[in-house]
Amino acid sequence: MAKKTISTPRPIDKVMTVWDVLTPDERQFLRNNHTVHRFKKNELIHCEGDTPTHMMILESGKVKVFKEGVGSRAQIIRMLKPGEHFGYRAIITNQPHNTNVSAVEPSTIFMIKADIFISILKHNNAFCYRFLEELACDLGVSDARIVNLTQKHIRGRLAEALLTLKKNYGVEADGATISIYLAREDLANLSNMTTSNAIRTLSNFANEQIIAMDGRKLKIIDEEKLIRISKMG
Amino acid sequence: MAKKTISTPRPIDKVMTVWDVLTPDERQFLRNNHTVHRFKKNELIHCEGDTPTHMMILESGKVKVFKEGVGSRAQIIRMLKPGEHFGYRAIITNQPHNTNVSAVEPSTIFMIKADIFISILKHNNAFCYRFLEELACDLGVSDARIVNLTQKHIRGRLAEALLTLKKNYGVEADGATISIYLAREDLANLSNMTTSNAIRTLSNFANEQIIAMDGRKLKIIDEEKLIRISKMG
DNA sequence: AAATAACAATGTTTTAAAGCACAAATTTAC
DNA sequence: GTAAATTTGTGCTTTAAAACATTGTTATTT
């Protein structure tokens, strides 16, 4: 693998998708009042039970949001890509975090102190509305996931996970390889199954020419079929 | 059963929990611009795929929010009690409803037209913030449910459902009977299991003196044990 | 009051997925 | 560069829960 150069993070105005609704004063304030943090691969960013202190924005890299369930079996709730916010839900509800977040790749994160974030939410109606939209969207996704993960069979759940990853992270230059390389365990934790079953089912998909595998690189060959499998359950 | 008298609905200012953040103008406007609807037991209020037209507030009765999954197997997402809002998430995301809502008891519902609701959200920051809190809270619950429903075993899931129902609807005068009488099928759809398994597991709980049953009336006898079962998975 | 339908209870069979064990292949650490 | 550790791949066994079948019970309907 080519050695990764540590790139300088982009300025916050290029990263924050809600920048457009901020007032000039708020913009200047945020430029001066945010911090930049780098996390190594597999480093924990915050964990369940922690008191939330900052709203966070992923500048670069990839992170997973997950919960530890029965017997410390992990369930990945969602995967984030650059520009997405996290860690703020708990600030709004004024409760400890109910998820863990960790970097699946080296990641750079902008942090804004909780009180500053709340203050803008309470003073800038358009800003508040944007986050209302974001949470409304996330809630829809979460509710849909309840049904998908509980009712679909293994093949359907894994197919769905692969399609979601492709939609979320896109593909490499070849137009097929999903642009995120996850361990089989992470794929399993996304799809609510054991690692063995993720491996087994991936092998089956490969035998059926639905995907092609090269280590952690997964290529979707027959997307139609994958969609069908995902829909059937 | 005693014949139910159809009571006059309370005024909207006594039902809406966000009334305090409205301006006098908004209050007057809403008093004049909401409609009252009655739904019979088992009547569908809105369904998946419908375009959302109103934000709704449950004045009296009980409703269930559910999704139809694989093979039209239903999954109850949440149960609402008077004062709670629904049907507005889809308005905010500007998408069709992704859940069905139906009355599990005769229910009275206040409706506010979507454009009016959006207009208040966009002009009244405190109002917007209240709904932000509500969605943030719901999202936390939904994420937790993903783990509970996928990882816990049948007994754990049913125990959890019973505890949630008790917490949500409270108990009768006897201090133990849960104040909602659901069909076994609804209990099953809440807890992600088949009706047979809900029946079987309830019987087991009754044999173990954890609950007592009288038709649809469920009495929690040993709450400690139920909590333990729910936590163990 | 009889007929029908809906709901509840239980036993039996089947099956999807977990659990386990072990070997091979990679990755990471020193 | 080598050893250690982790990850991946397979086969086999076990098990939890679904599916099915049957019967009893309680509500509705006419």
Could you report the per-residue pLDDT of A27-69, keeping only the tens digit for each?
Answer: 999 999 999 999 999 999 999 999 999 999 999 999 999 999 8
3-state SS record for chain B: CCCCCCCCCCCHHHHCCCHHHCCHHHHHHHHHCCEEEEECCCCEEECCCCCCCEEEEEEECCEEEEEECHHHCEEEEEEECCCCEECCHHHHHCCCCCCEEEECCCEEEEEEEHHHHHHHHHHCHHHHHHHHHHHHHHHHHHHHHHHHHHHCCHHHHHHHHHHHHHHHHCECCCCCEECCCCCHHHHHHHHCCCHHHHHHHHHHHHHCCCEEEECCEEEECCHHHHHHHHHHC
Q: Which one of B98, B120, B149 terminates a domain?
A: B149
Alpha-carbon span B62 to B105, nearest angstrom: 5
| CATH number of the domain where residue A81 is located | 2.60.120.10
What is the model's pLDDT at position B232? Answer: 83
User: Are B204 and B100 contained in the same domain?
Assistant: no
Classify residue A192 as exposed, middle or buried by CB count within 10 Å of its CB (0-12, 13-18, 19+). Answer: buried
Mean pLDDT (chain A) is 94
What is the model's pLDDT at position A89? Answer: 98
Distances (CA, A) of A85 to A18, A88, B179: 10, 7, 40
| CATH number of the domain where residue A187 is located | 1.10.10.10
- Model pLDDT for residues B52-65, shown as the tens digit of each residue: 999 999 999 999 99
Query: Using the CA of A197, which nucleotide's C1' is the nearest one?
Result: C17
Expressed as residue numbers, the domain containing B220 is: 152-232
Q: Which one of A89, A115, A149 terminates a domain?
A: A149
Q: How far is the CA of B108 from the C1' of D28 (A)?
A: 25
Number of compact structural domains in chain B: 2
User: Are B50 and B94 contained in the same domain?
Assistant: yes
As ranges, strand D nucleotides with an atom below 7 A of a protein CB are 7-11, 16-21, 26-27
Q: Which one of B149, B175, B206 terminates a domain?
A: B149
User: Are B22 and B136 contained in the same domain?
Assistant: yes
Residue B34 forms part of a structural domain: yes
From the candidates A124, A132, A152, which should be mutated to test the interface with B, based on the most B CB atoms within 10 A? A132
Residue B22 forms part of a structural domain: yes
For chain A, how many residues are written?
233
CA A120 to chain centre: 24
- Model pLDDT for residues A102-147, shown as the tens digit of each residue: 999 999 999 999 999 999 999 999 999 999 999 999 999 999 999 9
Q: How far is the CA of B36 from the C1' of D29 (A)?
A: 31
Residue B27 forms part of a structural domain: yes
Residue B2 forms part of a structural domain: no
Nearest CA in chain B to A134: B93
User: What value does the mean pLDDT take over residues A70-83?
Assistant: 92
Nearest to A133 among B75, B92, B151 (CB): B92
User: Are B99 and B160 contained in the same domain?
Assistant: no
Q: Which residues of A touch B73 (CB under 8 A)?
A: 151
User: Are A117 and A204 contained in the same domain?
Assistant: no
User: Are B97 and B189 contained in the same domain?
Assistant: no
Residue B8 forms part of a structural domain: no
What is the model's pLDDT at position B6? Answer: 62
> Which residue, B213, B197, B109, is CA-closest to B153?
B197
Flag if A121 and B140 touch (Cβ within 8 Å). no
Classify residue A168 as exposed, middle or buried by CB count within 10 Å of its CB (0-12, 13-18, 19+). Answer: middle
User: What value does the mean pLDDT take over residues A76-81?
Assistant: 96
Residue A2 forms part of a structural domain: no
pTM score, whole prediction = 0.95
Residue A97 forms part of a structural domain: yes
Banded model confidence at residue A5, pLDDT cuts 50, 70, 90: low
Neighbours of A64 (CB within 10 A): 21
User: Are B60 and B79 contained in the same domain?
Assistant: yes
Banded model confidence at residue A72, pLDDT cuts 50, 70, 90: confident
Banded model confidence at residue A211, pLDDT cuts 50, 70, 90: very high
User: Are B91 and B202 contained in the same domain?
Assistant: no
Percent of chain A, pLDDT > 90?
91
What is the model's pLDDT at position B3? Answer: 40
Minimal C-alpha gap between A209 and chain B (Å): 25
Minimal C-alpha gap between B122 and chain A (Å): 6
A225 pLDDT higher than 60: yes
Alpha-carbon span A157 to A146, nearest angstrom: 11
> What residues of chain B score a pLDDT lower than 50?
1-4
User: Are B115 and B190 contained in the same domain?
Assistant: no
From the candidates A151, A197, A228, A232, which should be mutated to test the interface with B, based on the most B CB atoms within 10 A? A151
As ranges, strand C nucleotides with an atom below 7 A of a protein CB are 7-11, 16-21, 26-28
Q: How far is the CA of A141 from the C1' of C17 (A)?
A: 25
- Model pLDDT for residues A153-201, shown as the tens digit of each residue: 999 999 999 999 999 999 999 999 999 999 999 999 999 999 999 999 9
CA A54 to chain centre: 17
Alpha-carbon span B46 to B107, nearest angstrom: 14
User: Are A28 and A85 contained in the same domain?
Assistant: yes
Residue B9 forms part of a structural domain: no
Q: How far is the CA of B184 from the C1' of C7 (A)?
A: 8
User: Are B117 and B35 contained in the same domain?
Assistant: yes
Nearest to A122 among B92, B125, B146 (CB): B125
User: Are A129 and A174 contained in the same domain?
Assistant: no
Q: Which residues of B touch A152 (CB under 8 A)?
A: 69-70
